[in-house]
Amino acid sequence: MNLPGKRMTWTAREYILPVQERVLIMGVLNVTPDSFSDGGRYQGVDAAVARAEAIEAEGADLLDLGGESSRPGARPVSLAEELARVLPVVTALAGRIRIPISVDTTKAEVARQALDAGAAVINDISALRDDPGMADVVARGRAGLILMHMQGSPATMQEHPAYEAVAEEVGDFLQARVEAAIAAGIDRERIAVDPGIGFGKTGEQSLALLGGLSVFHALGRPIVIGPSRKSFVGAVLERPVHEREWGTAAAVAAGVLEGAHVVRVHSVAQMKDVARMAQAIREAQAVSHGRTSISAP
């Protein structure tokens, strides 16, 4: 948890995201044919815009737009294809919704054009490793940045994920990637970190990460988690993708109690309530333990 009295900010272009006031909700919008949860539902621009507006109306603090599936086993798409999926939606949404638009991409050119069109955050699941131009694009664009841990690539990450101590190893990786981002000219205040639940992790490893988020508090950056409808939830409950909302709710609550600042989810309104309730419990615990700062982990 943040040290009492120590302030943390997360900025993204003109936005100052209130990570110390409350847990933020990042609503997922995939404009892909093959995403594991909602692939194909929002491929058309009109459908995507309507869903984005609904995500905002449900209370999301950010919109995360993805044009390339990162589900286990997914294969890369071309730059042209990803741009064709993402850019028209960003262009249509810029000025139409008030919440910041995050673009989930590992390609510097997609990031550059998305930022030019009005996006404010780049969510890079490769943590700046896939494209050597990404750091410069983020730095020049004054964008917010999410650095995520992933063992392997989406195509291979679930084959044989192995760790000796998953939380500590992921923490070390994220520390190194934060330092690399800063060295590349990205302001520290613009960086958030994501331990990558379900990305190159077994179900047990994902559960261990959720229970070990305290490791990442030492990074001093907002912690983003994305447990929504993931396979580890399905494995525990023996439920298909669209029957995992209760399990997702439990994972969101556990993550917030452990100090998550941002939760990336599909069902915005429901998980907003879950996060608010979990934060209220977390704050009550802070009071009972005599901490002077209870507004954030």
DSSP class per residue in 10-45:
EEETTEEE-TTTS-EEEEEEE-SS--TTTTTTT-SH
Q: In this predicted structure, what is the pLDDT of residue 74?
A: 65
**pLDDT digit string (tens) for the chain, length 297 residues:** 343 345 789 999 999 999 989 999 999 999 987 554 555 566 689 999 999 999 999 999 999 999 997 766 667 889 999 999 999 999 999 989 999 999 999 999 999 999 999 999 999 999 999 999 999 999 999 999 999 999 876 766 677 778 999 999 999 999 999 999 999 999 999 999 999 998 989 999 999 999 999 999 999 999 999 999 999 999 999 999 999 999 999 999 999 999 999 999 999 999 999 999 999 999 998 888 775 443 444
CB burial of residue 79 (10 Å; 0-12, 13-18, 19+): middle
Q: In this predicted structure, what is the pLDDT of residue 221?
A: 97
Q: In this predicted structure, what is the pLDDT of residue 155?
A: 63
Q: In this predicted structure, what is the pLDDT of residue 33?
A: 77
CATH number corresponding to 10-288 = 3.20.20.20
The separation between the first and the last C-alpha atoms of the chain, rounded to the nearest angstrom, is 4
Q: In this predicted structure, what is the pLDDT of residue 286?
A: 83
Nearest-10 crossing angle of helices 203-211, 245-257: 40
Q: In this predicted structure, what is the pLDDT of residue 2?
A: 43
Q: In this predicted structure, what is the pLDDT of residue 41?
A: 65
Side chain identity at residue 253, one-letter code: A
Q: In this predicted structure, what is the pLDDT of residue 258?
A: 96
Q: In whole angstroms, what is the distance from residue 83 CA to residue 127 CA?
A: 20
Active site residues: 230, 264
Cα angle, residue 284 at apex, residues 205 and 248 outer, rounded to 5°: 35
Half-sphere exposure of 295 (CA within 13 A, CB side): 10
pTM of the complete model: 0.91
